[in-house]
A and B are shown apart, each in its own frame.
Chain A
C-alpha cells in the first residue's frame, strides 16, 4: 500500500505540474491571439480605408489622384516596414531556437529571399495565402487526425506493411512523425541485415575507416562535403553539425560496400537522412537505399541500372505523355539530361525540399519504382509550359529550372498516385530488365573499343614528356 500510495502521490504531483504548464501555455496563447487579432484589425482597417479611397469618384482631377497615390504609397511603405520588422523578429527567434524562421525553413534550407520590396510583399502575400489554406483545409486536419490515430496505435511497435499505411504514406508524412516513420521504413528493408551484422557494426566501420590508410573514396568524400547542401544551415561550413556526421557515414559506407565505395549523389542522400535521423540511422538509411531499395548496379562503376532507368522513363513518358514525348523528340532534346540526376539523388537535386520529402516518404516505404510515378507527375504538372517552349534551346532552358515550378506537392501527389493510373509495376520491372540487358551489351562493346584505343595509346610517343617530370624528382 505504501508503494501504491507513493506512486499515486507522485502521479498527482506530475499531473499538477502538467496542468500548471498547460495553464501557462494557455495564457501565452491567449496573449498571442490578442496580439494577432490587433494586427488583423489594423490591417483590415487599412484595407477598408484603401478600398474607400479607391472607390471615391475622382472629383478634384489630378490633385485628388496624386493624393490617392500618396495614400497608397504610404500604406505600401507601412506594409514593407512591418514586413521588415517581422523579419527582424524572426531573425531574433533564430538565435533562441534553430527551428522555423524566415531565412531558413524548418529543415535548415535557406529560403530564397526576394530583394525587391514590392516583390517581397507579393511573394509574402502568396506564402501567407498558402499557409492559411493549409491551416484551414479540412482535409489537412483529417489527414493529421488519421496520422495521430495511426501513431497512437503504432506506439513503439515495428512498422508492418498494410494497404492503409501505404495510402497514408502516399499522402505525405507530417513533419512531426517523419523521423519515426522513416526509421520504421528503414527497418523494413535492413532490419534483418542489421541484426545479422551485429549492433556494433557501424561503430566498427567508423573505426576501421579512421585507421585505413588507403581509401580511394576518402579524398572524393572530403571534396564533396561542403558541396552537398551548401545552402543548408546544417551543412554550410566545416564546423556545421551535419558535416562531421556526413563524413563519417560516407566513409563507413565506403568500407561497408567497397564495390561502390563512394559515388557522387550518395552524399545528398545521407545529408537528407541526417536532417531527420541520427548518424547511425542515416548510415542504415543509405544501406537501405543503395543495397536494398535501388536496383543492383545503380551506383556502381558503370551506373548500368541507373542508365536503364532513364530508358524506362523515356518509354513511360512516351506512353503516358505522348505529346510531350513527341515535343522532345522533334526538338532532339534528351530528357535524361535533366532526369538522370533526379533518380540518382532521389530528387534531392533541383527539386524543392517540401516536394522531394514527399517523394522520399513513399520511396522509403514502397521502393524505387515510385520514382517513375513522380518523375512523370512532375513532367505532367508542367507539360503545357514545356509544350509552349518552341525550340531545343527554349526547352533546355526551361528544363534547367524546372525544379522551381514543382512546389504544389499536393497536386503532384494527386497526379502521381491517381491520374497516372493504371501504372502496373510488373511492366516497369520487365522494362527495367529489358533495358538493363541492352545496356550491358552496349557497355561490353564500348569496353572493347576502349581496350583497342588504350593499346594503341601505349605505343604512342605522345606520353613522353611525362618523363621530364620523373627526371626532375
Chain B
C-alpha cells in the first residue's frame, strides 16, 4: 500500500450536540456558515496543509453516538473538544463524556479546547472564564509536551463571523506537521501564528474578579 495516500494527520472534533462542531469545520474548510443537519455517526473532511493531507473527522454530538466515537478516535493526532460558550453544560460534558473516550484510546493526541458561538454571548455574561478554559485545556494535555505549541491549547471562536476559526486548525497543524516559514509562504499560508488572546487579555476576565 502506498503510504503517501493515507492522511498525514487525523484530527477529530468532539463535543455535545448542537455546539457547532460541523459549523466549525465547514467555516474552516469551505468558509461558509450554513445550517447543518445533525451529524449521525461521523463525517469526513479533507484539508491540504502545505504538502500534507489532513483528515478532519466531525463526530456526532448525540450521546447515543458517542459509544461509537472510540472508533473514530483511533490514531487521531489531535482532538478538538468543542463546547458552546452560551451553554456551560456543554463545557462540563467535555469532562464527563469526552475525556474518558480520549484517555483510553490516544495518549499522544493533542487536545485543543474550543469555545464556540462567541458571537452569542456578551463577555460579561459568560459562565466559563478564559482561565477555566485554559486550565482544562492544560490538564487534558498532561503528559504531553506542548511547549512547542505556538499558542494556548484553548480558543474561543465564532463560526458565524469566522473569528479565530482558522487559528484553531493552523495551530494544530503547525504543531503536528511543522512547516518552515519558507514552506508556509510557498503554500500561501500566513507566516506567523499570533496568539490573538495575548493581545486582548482583558476581555474574558471580568467574572473572575469576585472569587
Contacts and interface: CB of A to CB of B under 8 A. Distances in A.
A303 B62 CA distance: 11
A400 B43 contact: yes
A72 interface: no
Given A263-B62, A337-B41, A453 B104 contact: yes
Contacts of A265: 38, 40
B74 to A, nearest CB: 10
A303 B6 contact: no
A311 to B, nearest CB: 13
Interface residues of B, number: 43
A334 B35 contact: no
Contact of B38 (A264, A334, A393, A471): A264
Given A228-B37, A264-B38, A264-B60, A393 B5 contact: yes
A349 B37 contact: yes
A340 interface: yes
A224 B18 contact: yes
B153 to A, nearest CB: 16
B10 to A, nearest CB: 10
A143 to B, nearest CB: 32
A465 B135 contact: yes
Contacts of A466: 92
Q: Secondary structure of the A side of the interface?
A: helix
A298 to B, nearest CB: 11
- Greatest chain B CB density within 10 A among A220, A307, A330 is at A220
A449 B127 CA distance: 32
A212 B104 CA distance: 39
Nearest to A307: B68
Nearest to B60: A264
A394 B55 CA distance: 11
B185 interface: no
B7 A302 contact: no
Interface string B68-98: 1001100000000000000000001001000
> Which of A303, A341, A394, A397 has the most chain B CB within a 10 Å cutoff?
A341
A303 B127 CA distance: 34
B37 A230 contact: yes
B2 interface: yes
Given A223-B17, A453-B103, A390 B5 contact: yes
B107 interface: no
Interface string A383-410: 0000000111110110110000000000
Contact of A400 (B2, B37, B44, B139): B44
A195 interface: no
B64 interface: yes
A348 to B, nearest CB: 9
B181 interface: no
Contacts of A220: 17-18, 62
Nearest to B140: A462
Interface of B: 1-2, 4-7, 17-18, 34-38, 40-46, 53, 55, 60-65, 67-68, 71-72, 92, 95, 100, 103-104, 127, 132, 135, 139, 210-211
11 contacts: A220-B18, A223-B17, A227-B18, A227-B38, A264-B60, A265-B40, A307-B68, A337-B44, A349-B37, A392-B7, A472-B211
Chain A to chain B: the 8 pairs with minimum beta-carbon distance, closest first? A391-B5, A340-B41, A230-B35, A341-B40, A264-B62, A223-B18, A264-B38, A396-B44
Given A307-B68, A472-B211, 20 more contacts: A223-B17, A223-B18, A230-B35, A230-B36, A263-B62, A264-B17, A264-B38, A268-B37, A302-B67, A331-B1, A331-B5, A336-B41, A391-B6, A400-B45, A446-B67, A450-B100, A453-B104, A454-B100, A466-B92, A471-B211
